[in-house]
């Protein structure tokens, strides 16, 4: 088996099934994610809040996109990670993949929440109301509840292994449904009112606004990765709390 | 295989017949929720006419959810679910048969009641066919989706509270397209697009969801 694994180059992957190894690798990765994240976010915030000019229509209000866009993108990325980890856990019965999924869920939910809050705060001066039934906002809200469902289902099981697998099934059903939900909401919305708000924005963003946004997107991604690695560590420790190595490192 | 399936169907229908009161609960819930809207908003015919598709669809969605908890509970508690999972019949097919009987006993009554409630909400009579068709397609998808939720929560104590949280977000597209078809028909527009989308969702659900139900049942049985 080992030879077979080496032949196809999968040994590196199988090593992640070992809790101490995953714990160590995740711990090593944290600073490599966290410091560039801090640097990129600092540069991005400087660029976004000071050096880039106010928008000619939205004034300074547009600056919230430097938080909003990365959060919104990571809310979906988080669900993708959740779904892939769940699939790996279900198909290859890799228990630690469930630990990654369990760590990704609250993170993804937090970024979804952040995207919703920043969207609402932006909406107040721009649309005159905190909430409009915009297709993106609505599908983001439903995404938040998909996260909540995943977390609630996992916690509801007394046996954590069953909870992991049940939540993984739910995550996979959710990921198939997610594009359907998104497009249904888009079509539902277009029935009521045209996509007037977002037309023409984003695609022709000025370069002075673009580079801080890109900095923020990469910075947030690395921040997400750092948080994910750290919570994977916590999750692994919690699962292995009876093991000798866990008592040593903790 | 077909004999085993029909035996299963007959058994489930018989069981449902013997617990008629339980079967009628979603239907009564459907009527009561629908009645709440005119009472809570206002009985003006114009208002009722404009909200009728959405109200009927939302009420049907909630009523369908009421019945979902019992979908596998009995079989789980008396151990027959375990036997069904061990049987040579593929669990996916068994699950589909179970969903079919569940739909016949809880979904179909809602579809039959809907025109009556539609009349009370001043929903146009000539659009009633579309309403029924949309509910016919939609409640079947809801039964399938609910079965996933029921299978995931069947071994849990607080399954009744958890189930809506799991199923309702997934049911959003069904609600949207269903209510859209009903509303378009009421306005005299062509509801074909929304109905086709519902039918597509049903086809997708029929092919994929049984696998999710079977996987969920296996997880629940192992816990």
Tracing tokens 């880039």 back to the chain, one arrives at A52
A166 vs B contacts (CB less than 8 Å): 152, 216, 219-220, 223
B156 vs A contacts (CB less than 8 Å): 156-157
Give the ranges where B19-88 is alpha helix by DSSP (H). Answer: 20-40, 45-68, 70-77, 80-86
ipTM of the complex: 0.88
Tracing tokens 């080496």 back to the chain, one arrives at A6
Per-residue pLDDT for A220 more than 90? Answer: yes
Per-residue pLDDT for B115 more than 90? Answer: yes
Count other C-beta atoms under 10 Å from residue A159's C-beta: 12
Give the residue with greater pLDDT, A95 vs A153. A153
* Rounded Cα–Cα distance for residues B96 and B119 (Å): 33
Paired with A59 in beta bridges are A55
Q: Do A149 and B172 touch (CB under 8 A)?
A: no
pLDDT value of position A56 = 66
Specify if A190 maps to a domain. Answer: yes
pLDDT value of position B198 = 94
Residue A97 token pair: 């993949």
Minimal-distance CA residue of chain B relative to A148:
B165
pLDDT value of position A3 = 55
Residue to substitute from A91, A98, A145, A156, interface B, most B β-carbons within 10 A = A156
pLDDT value of position A225 = 95
Q: Are A163 and A157 in contact (CB under 8 A)?
A: yes
For residue B19, the 8-state DSSP code is: T
Specify if A192 maps to a domain. Answer: yes
Give the residue with greater pLDDT, B210 vs A65. B210
Q: Do A184 and B176 touch (CB under 8 A)?
A: yes
DSSP B124-189: -GGGHHHHHHHHHHHHHHHHHHHHHHHHHHTT-TTHHHHHHHHHHHHTHHHHHHHHHHHHHHHTT-
B148 vs A contacts (CB less than 8 Å): 169-170, 173
pLDDT grade for A249, boundaries at 50, 70 and 90: confident
Specify if A160 maps to a domain. Answer: yes
A152 vs B contacts (CB less than 8 Å): 162, 165-166
Specify if A30 maps to a domain. Answer: yes
Q: Are A53 and B178 in contact (CB under 8 A)?
A: no
What is the domain extent for residue A184? 21-53+60-197+207-249
Specify if A1 maps to a domain. Answer: no
* Rounded Cα–Cα distance for residues B72 and B50 (Å): 37
- Cross-chain CB nearest to A166 (options B197, B209, B219): B219
Tell me the Cα Rg of chain B: 18
Specify if A219 maps to a domain. Answer: yes
pLDDT per residue over B54-95, tens digit each? Answer: 999 999 999 988 878 888 888 888 888 888 888 888 999 999
Q: Do A162 and B173 touch (CB under 8 A)?
A: no
Paired with B159 in beta bridges are none
- Cross-chain CB nearest to B166 (options A159, A170, A181): A170
Specify if A115 maps to a domain. Answer: yes
Specify if A16 maps to a domain. Answer: no
CA neighbor of B134 nearest in space, from B61, B36, B63, B37: B61
Give the number of domains in chain A. Answer: 1
In this predicted structure, which of A49-53, A57-61, A122-126, A209-213 has the lowest mean pLDDT?
A57-61
Q: Are A212 and A44 in contact (CB under 8 A)?
A: yes
Residue B110 token pair: 């809602």
Which residues neighbour B190 within 8 Å (Cβ) at sequence distance 6 or greater?
B184
Residue to substitute from A83, A171, A180, A189, interface B, most B β-carbons within 10 A = A180
CATH number, position A189: 1.20.120
């Amino acid at each position: 088996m080992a030879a077979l694994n080496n032949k196809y180059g999968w040994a590196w992957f199988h090593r992640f099934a070992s809790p101490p190894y995953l714990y160590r690798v995740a711990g090593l990765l944290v600073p490599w994610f966290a410091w560039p994240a801090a640097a990129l976010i600092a540069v991005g915030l400087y660029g976004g809040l000071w050096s880039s000019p106010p928008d000619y229509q939205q004034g300074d209000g547009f600056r919230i996109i430097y938080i909003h866009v990365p959060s919104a993108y990571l809310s979906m990325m988080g669900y993708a990670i959740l779904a892939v980890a769940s699939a790996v856990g279900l198909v290859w019965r890799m228990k630690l993949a469930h630990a990654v999924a369990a760590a990704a869920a609250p993170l993804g939910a937090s970024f979804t929440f952040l995207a919703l809050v920043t969207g609402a705060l932006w909406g107040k001066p721009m649309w005159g109301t905190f909430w409009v039934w915009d297709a993106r906002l609505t599908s983001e809200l439903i995404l938040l509840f998909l996260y909540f469902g995943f977390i609630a289902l996992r916690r509801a099981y007394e046996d954590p292994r069953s909870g992991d697998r049940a939540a993984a099934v739910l995550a996979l059903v959710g990921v198939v449904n997610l594009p359907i939900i998104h497009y249904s909401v888009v079509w539902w919305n277009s029935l009521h009112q045209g996509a007037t708000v977002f037309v023409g924005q984003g695609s022709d963003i000025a370069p002075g606004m673009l580079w801080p946004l890109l900095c923020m997107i990469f910075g947030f991604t690395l921040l997400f990765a750092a948080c994910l690695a750290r919570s994977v560590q916590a999750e692994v420790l919690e699962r292995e709390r009876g093991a000798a190595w866990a008592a040593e490192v903790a | 295989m077909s004999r085993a399936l029909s035996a299963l169907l007959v058994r489930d229908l018989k069981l449902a017949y013997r617990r008629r009161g339980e079967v009628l609960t979603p239907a009564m819930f459907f009527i009561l929720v629908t009645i709440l809207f005119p009472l809570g908003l206002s009985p003006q015919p114009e208002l009722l006419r404009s909200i009728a598709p959405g109200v009927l669809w939302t009420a049907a969605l909630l009523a369908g959810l009421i019945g979902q908890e019992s979908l596998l509970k009995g079989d789980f508690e008396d151990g027959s679910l375990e036997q069904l999972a061990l049987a040579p019949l593929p669990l996916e097919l068994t699950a589909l048969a179970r969903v079919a009987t569940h739909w016949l006993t809880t979904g179909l009554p809602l579809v039959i009641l809907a025109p009556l409630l539609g009349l009370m909400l001043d929903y146009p009579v000539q659009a009633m066919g579309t309403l029924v068709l949309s509910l016919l397609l939609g409640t079947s998808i809801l039964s399938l989706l609910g079965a996933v939720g029921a299978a995931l929560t069947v071994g849990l104590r607080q399954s009744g509270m958890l189930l809506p949280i799991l199923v309702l977000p997934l049911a959003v597209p069904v609600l949207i397209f269903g209510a859209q078809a009903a509303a378009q028909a009421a306005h005299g527009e062509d509801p074909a697009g929304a109905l086709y989308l519902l039918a597509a969702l049903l086809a997708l659900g029929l092919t994929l969801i049984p696998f999710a139900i079977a996987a969920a049942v296996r997880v629940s049985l192992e816990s």
